[in-house]
Chains A and B, each alone.
Chain A
Amino acid sequence: MNGFMKLLRRSPWSARIGLIIVLINLTAGVMAPIICPYSETEKAGDIWVQPNAENILGTDHIGRDLFTRLVYGARNTISIAILATFIAFTVGSLMGFFAAVLGGWTDLILSRIIDVLMAFPTLILALMVLSVVGTGTVPLIAVISLIASTRVYRLSRAVAMDIEVMEFVEAARLRGENIWWLMRHEILPNALPPLVAEFGLRFCFVFLFIASLSFLGLGVQPPYADWGGMVRENAGAITFGIMTPLFPAAAIAVLTVGVNLIVDWFLHISSGLKD
Chain B
Amino acid sequence: MVPLLEMKNIYIEGLSEERWNPIIKGIDLTLNRGEVLGLIGESGAGKSTLGIASMAYTRQGCRISSGSIRFDGEELLGAPKERLRKIRGNRIAYVAQSAAASFNPAYRLINQYAEAPVQHGIMNFKKAAKEARDIYKRLLLPDPDNIGFRYPHQVSGGQLQRAMVAMAMACRPDLIIFDEPTTALDVTTQIEVLAAVKHIVEEFNTAAIYITHDLAVVAQISDRIMVLRYGNLVEEKDTREMIARPEEDYTRRLLAVRSIHEEKDLSQSEKDVILEVSGVSASYDGKSKILEDIDVKIRRGRTVALVGESGSGKSTLARVITGLLPLSGGSISYNGNTLPIALKGRSKEMLRQIQMIYQMPDTALNPNQKVSKIIGRPLEYYFGIKGQKNDKKVFELLEKIELSEKYFSRYPTELSGGEKQRICIARALAAKPELIVCDEVTSALDQLVAKEILKLLQSLQKEMNVSYLFITHDLATVKAISDEIVVMLKGKIVEQGTKEEILAPPHHEYTEMLLSSVPEMDPDWLDCLLKVRKESGKLSSMIEA
Contact = CB atoms under 8 A, between A and B. Distances in A.
B369 interface: yes
Contacts of A216: none
Given A168-B365, A190-B368, A274 B343 contact: no
Which of A170, A176, A177 has the most B CB atoms < 10 Å from its CB?
A176
Interface string B339-358: 00001001010010001101
16 contacts: A166-B363, A167-B360, A170-B324, A171-B356, A174-B324, A174-B351, A174-B356, A175-B377, A175-B381, A175-B382, A176-B346, A189-B366, A189-B368, A189-B369, A190-B366, A190-B367
A168 B431 CA distance: 16
Nearest to B356: A174
Interface range for A:
10 to 19
A176 B368 contact: no
A12 to B, nearest CB: 14
A171 B61 contact: no
Contacts of B382: 175
Contacts of B381: 175-177
A264 to B, nearest CB: 20
B322 A174 contact: yes
A177 B348 CA distance: 9
A268 interface: no
B219 to A, nearest CB: 34
A43 interface: no
A8 to B, nearest CB: 16
A11 B343 CA distance: 47
B364 A168 contact: yes
B213 interface: no
Contacts of A190: 366-368
Contacts, number: 46
Interface residues of B, number: 26
B427 interface: yes
Interface in A155-189: 166-168, 170-171, 173-177, 185-186, 189
B367 A167 contact: no
A191 B308 CA distance: 36
A7 to B, nearest CB: 13
Interface of B: 15, 61, 322-324, 343, 346, 348, 351, 355-356, 358, 360, 363-369, 377-378, 381-382, 427, 431
A274 B363 CA distance: 23
Nearest to A170: B324
A189 B366 CA distance: 9
Nearest to B382: A175
B432 to A, nearest CB: 13
A63 to B, nearest CB: 56
Contacts of A186: 366
Given A167-B360, A168-B364, A174-B323, 10 more contacts: A171-B356, A171-B364, A173-B343, A175-B377, A175-B381, A175-B382, A176-B343, A189-B368, A189-B369, A190-B367
Contacts of A171: 356, 358, 364, 427
Contact of A176 (B61, B351, B363, B427): B351
A175 B360 contact: no
B363 A168 contact: yes
B324 A175 contact: no
Nearest to B350: A176
A11 B366 CA distance: 28
Given A170-B324, A274-B15, A176 B348 contact: yes
B351 to A, nearest CB: 4
B488 to A, nearest CB: 22
Given A171-B364, A176-B381, A185 B369 contact: yes
A253 to B, nearest CB: 34
A203 B431 CA distance: 45
A170 B381 CA distance: 16
A189 B351 CA distance: 25
A176 B351 CA distance: 7
A116 B323 CA distance: 36
A177 B381 CA distance: 8
Given A177-B381, A189-B368, A167 B363 contact: yes
Interface string A6-28: 00000000000000000000000
A14 to B, nearest CB: 19
Nearest to B361: A167
Contacts of B343: 173-174, 176
Nearest to B347: A176
Interface string A248-275: 0000000000000000000000000010
Contacts of B368: 189-190
Nearest to B60: A274
A136 to B, nearest CB: 41
B415 to A, nearest CB: 14
Contacts of B366: 168, 185-186, 189-190
Contacts of A167: 358, 360, 363-364
Contacts of A175: 351, 377-378, 381-382, 431
B493 to A, nearest CB: 24
The CB with the most chain B CB atoms within 10 A, among A175, A185, A274, is that of A175
A6 to B, nearest CB: 12
B279 to A, nearest CB: 24
A177 B427 CA distance: 14
A185 B351 CA distance: 20
A241 B256 CA distance: 88
Contacts of A173: 324, 343
A173 to B, nearest CB: 7
A117 B366 CA distance: 34
Contacts of A177: 381
Nearest to A176: B351
Most buried by A among B358, B368, B378: B368
Contacts of B355: 174
A170 B382 CA distance: 17
A190 B356 CA distance: 22
A195 B397 CA distance: 35
A185 B360 CA distance: 20
Nearest to B322: A174
Contacts of A274: 15, 61
B245 to A, nearest CB: 43
